[in-house]
Amino acid sequence: MKTHHRLLLLVAFLKVSLLGSATAQDGFSFGYDTVSFFEKPTAFDVGIGTLNTNLLIDQSILYGDSTDDYSAATQFLGLFNFGTQLTNGWQFNAQYLANYSGFDDDDYRGNLAFSITDHWGVVAVGQVTGSVFEKTRRQRGAGNASLAFDQFAGGLKDEGIFYSVRFNSYEFAATVDREGGFELGANFERPIGASSYFGGLRLRKGETITGVGSRDTIGGAAVLAYTYASLTIDTQLGFESVGSVYSEEIEHLFSSLGLSYKTGPLTVSAEAGLAKLADQKRYSAAFGSRWDLARGLSLNFGVNYQNTENSVEDTVARGSLRYEF
């Protein structure tokens, strides 16, 4: 399907969703983009089930100091979830995430997943292999902040299966991709008064693509977070072993620390990261802010810095006006 046809389809969904009323979305969520939804979805009855929609439009301007140039980007995100209860009591959900970016360059990506939910947990198939990371990661920065070098070098294929189950304050999750790569994760979250504590662990066996072919990777990461009222402080520490074609395995270490604070309509965040891949050090920092102007309308800003020792150094500033409903 051509890009402009996909965009027309997305616009049609935008018009239809205005007929609904706000409701909480049930089922399985799998949006991995740094631009995420804040508003509750819109819902309306469709036959034997309910269709929930989240829609977002983001118009941004970017400046990169390495190119000394400005660019613009328009992003449309649409998350559509159809859910129904089966005769045996199971909850069935089908989700599609439409992600279109355009202006200087056009790009369209779509994620599709199907899930079954019951008291024994959630089973999902489709483009779901980023879901364990979503359940165990650090909190994303505010606005357009995006911290570099804060993840494993090895990844999973998009398509796979996913399972998660919750026991009180604990949640356990696993995903396997179509080539046998996997990720296991567990998290713990407990509120105590005005405070909340979060811990996450994940183990990943993946693959990284280089100029000389693919390399197997295996690594683990731990995340700790503390929230008091509107202040959140979190940290991550990870280690990964990357298989080398011509020599012994390469070690990859990465760590990060971040904080975010919300006061009235303003949310701000600051993050810093330090990583080492083989003998090459990597530094990163990110600052972001989000100002809520009206329901669904926000002004977002971010400055993202990254520096690879004896190589690339770059700072990108991005401001955007975002509307979601």
> Where exactly are the structural domains of the chain?
1-128, 134-325
Q: Residue 242 has which token pair?
A: 């990357």
Q: List 300's β-bridge partners, or say none.
A: 290, 320
The per-residue pLDDT for 208 is 87
The per-residue pLDDT for 49 is 92
Residue 35 reports pLDDT greater than 90? no
Mean pLDDT of 250-259: 96
Mean pLDDT of 22-33: 44
Tens of pLDDT, residue by residue over 273-320, are: 999 998 899 999 999 999 999 988 999 999 999 999 888 789 999 999
Neighbours of 19 (CB within 10 A): 8
The CATH number of 134-325 is which of 3.40.1350.10, 3.90.380.10, 3.40.50.2000, 2.40.160.10? 2.40.160.10
DSSP designation for 139: P
**CA dist 209 to 138, 153, 204, 216, 218, Å?**
25, 9, 16, 9, 14
Identity (one letter) of the amino acid at 238? G
Kindly tell me the sign of the dihedral angle through the C-alpha atoms of 128, 129, 130, 134. Answer: positive
Higher pLDDT, 128 or 10: 128
Residue 6 reports pLDDT greater than 70? no
Strands, E assignment, the chain? 21-22, 42-46, 49-64, 69-85, 91-103, 107-118, 121-126, 160-167, 170-177, 182-192, 195-210, 213-228, 231-242, 250-263, 266-277, 280-294, 297-308, 313-324
